[in-house]
Structures are given as structure tokens and as C-alpha cells.
Amino acid sequence: MPDLKASCSKALAGLVICLSILPLNLKVAASGRVFQDDSGPQPSGGHAMAFALSSKSFPNGGDIPKKFTCDGADVSPELSWQDPPPNTKTFALIADDPDAPAGTWTHWVLYDLPGDVKNLAEGTSKQEELPNGSRQGLNDFRKIGYNGPCPPPGKPHRYYFKLHALDSKLNVKGGASRQEVERAMQGHILAKAEWMGRYKR
């Protein structure tokens, strides 16, 4: 029965080849290059959902109303956020204008905002320490808290509101400079979210 023997040999050879390829396929699947499973625990600093910042005061990339500028009441805008990393302990917010003639101009420095807070109401008080324990630093107007857009006449300037999710409290004194806060933040940033508005005079 030579034909049957040859057929069996071919079948066995095929089985060996299939079994040798199978582990390779499993490795590719496990590496995440073919399949990705985001349902399990995320590595430190990662999060399955997108950390996002938004505002009811103006659209992202849109015009900032005069109310929130030096040409109006100069109150801070409403800000809300969602899906911070699960091990977030505090937030730090920095608002600035990268288009200022003298270089990036800082409009707001706020830090040690508790990790369970999900928004800042319009018109945050301009004081070093807020009732919820968060603190505010000096902006480039040399004032505490928020001072809004106040550009020279000309092209619109961009104003970025940058919210950082941190894994610890900074314990920096109230009235600190942006540089002091950014130094304290080093090594503790889990994620960052931004919202941007424009203003011209």
C-alpha cells in the first residue's frame, strides 16, 4: 500500500507545520499588534478613556467673550473635565498666551485642586487658597488667580487652558510662581488636557 503510506506522511508533515506556526500566531495576538484589549488594568500613567477638558463659556478654538477679558468683568471662565486617570490625587491648571509680544504670558496658575473635583465654576475667587483646599499662584500681571486676555491691538491671540492630572499633592505655598509649580509637578504628571480660545482687540 505505497500510496496510503505516502498520504499519511504528507498529512503528518502538514500537522507538524501547523503546530509550529500556531505559537507564532499566538505571540502576535498577545503582543497587541493584531488584537488589543483595553479592558484590563492600565499601566501607570495610562487610562483607557480620554482625559478631556471643556468649557461652557466659549467653544474650543473659538472667540473668548469680553466678560472673561480685561475689557470686561475679567472673571475666569467655567471649566469642566472628565475621565482623569484613576489614581489622580490632584489637578494643576495653567492658562497662558503663547502669542504675547514678550513671549508666553501666564494668565492663571492653580494647583492642589482635589482629585474628586470635576469643574471650576465661572468667576473663581482671586485668593491664594480656595475653600476646597486648592491654591493659586502669581500670574504674569503679578496678581493672584485669573486675569484674562488683554492683548495689544492686532491679530488674535491664542489662550490655552492646560489641566494636569497629578499623582500627588504638590504642597507648594499659595502665591507661588508658575516656575515653582512646574518644578513641583515634575515626575507626577499622569495626563494633560487642553482647551483653547482666541481674543483680539
What DSSP letter does each residue of 121-158 carry, written as one string? Answer: -SS---SSB-TTS-EE-B-TTS-BS-----PPSSSPEE
**Nearby residues of 15 by Cβ (< 8 Å), 6 or more positions away:** none
Count other C-beta atoms under 10 Å from residue 116's C-beta.
10
Half-sphere exposure of 128 (CA within 13 A, CB side): 8
Question: With contact defined as beta carbons under 8 Å apart, do 96 and 106 qualify?
Answer: yes
Burial of 198 (0-12, 13-18, 19+ CB in 10 A): middle
Topology of domain 52-199, CATH: Phosphatidylethanolamine-binding Protein (3.90.280)
pTM above 0.85, yes or no: no
Domain ranges within the chain, ordered by starting residue: 1-35, 52-199
The cell numbers describing 1, all together, are 500500500
Note down pLDDT in tens along the chain; length 201 residues. 445 444 444 444 444 333 343 343 433 333 232 322 233 334 444 445 699 999 999 999 999 999 999 999 999 999 999 999 999 999 999 999 999 999 999 999 999 999 999 999 999 999 999 999 999 999 999 999 999 999 999 999 999 999 999 999 998 999 999 999 999 999 999 999 999 999 999
